[in-house]
Chain A
């Protein structure tokens, strides 16, 4: 089974801190994603990466950056955390879009609280 592992389940950070959320997948997937989940809004895509060192902005990239130095690892960075970034963050991975097995696999989520 695919395993997507996020480094922390819960984080509490102070306003202005630089925050790193780490994600590792073990299925050699090309695509990796970071989503933000808020009640009533579903999942919104922050950034995704389709290859090492490649990244593209999603729907809500402001205030975030990402890093993908190795295929299995995708990091989300909050440059200066703010209280409106308090949320559940979900990492996902998937094979290329044209493959038969097309579904994305998700990590367990990181609930971030910025105080």
Chain B
């Protein structure tokens, strides 16, 4: 079985400060890891993914994430948050030959001006 944990329901940061959204996963075998963002009353938008290779992956809107196999983590980061980054963020995992994505419960990010 595979699962994802997002330990923080909410993250609050001031604009211009670094933003980190935490994600840990559990999977049998090599993980494919994803981050999605959801704005109010909208679907999910893909941000970035880790498949293989460099542990630091870069994605849309200045976001990046670091894959840490020993800690089974895939934390999302942005060096300088914007008010427009306020949204709901989801981490997801699957294995290479499985189509089924497992999602975390989501983390609400609020960036104050």
Contacts and interface: CB of A to CB of B under 8 A. Distances in A.
Interface of A: 4, 6, 9, 31, 33, 35, 40-45, 48, 50, 58, 90, 92, 94, 96-98, 100, 102-109, 111
A35 B104 CA distance: 13
B47 to A, nearest CB: 9
Nearest to A94: B99
Given A103-B49, A106-B44, A31 B99 contact: yes
Interface of B: 4, 9, 32, 34, 36, 41-46, 49, 51, 90, 94, 96-101, 103-106
Given A90-B43, A102-B51, A107-B43, A42 B90 contact: yes
B100 A48 contact: yes
A109 B43 contact: yes
Contact of A41 (B4, B100, B105): B105
Nearest to A98: B97
B43 A97 contact: no
B34 A103 contact: yes
Among the interface residues A40, A100, A106, which one has the most CB atoms of the partner chain B within 10 A? Answer: A106
A62 to B, nearest CB: 18
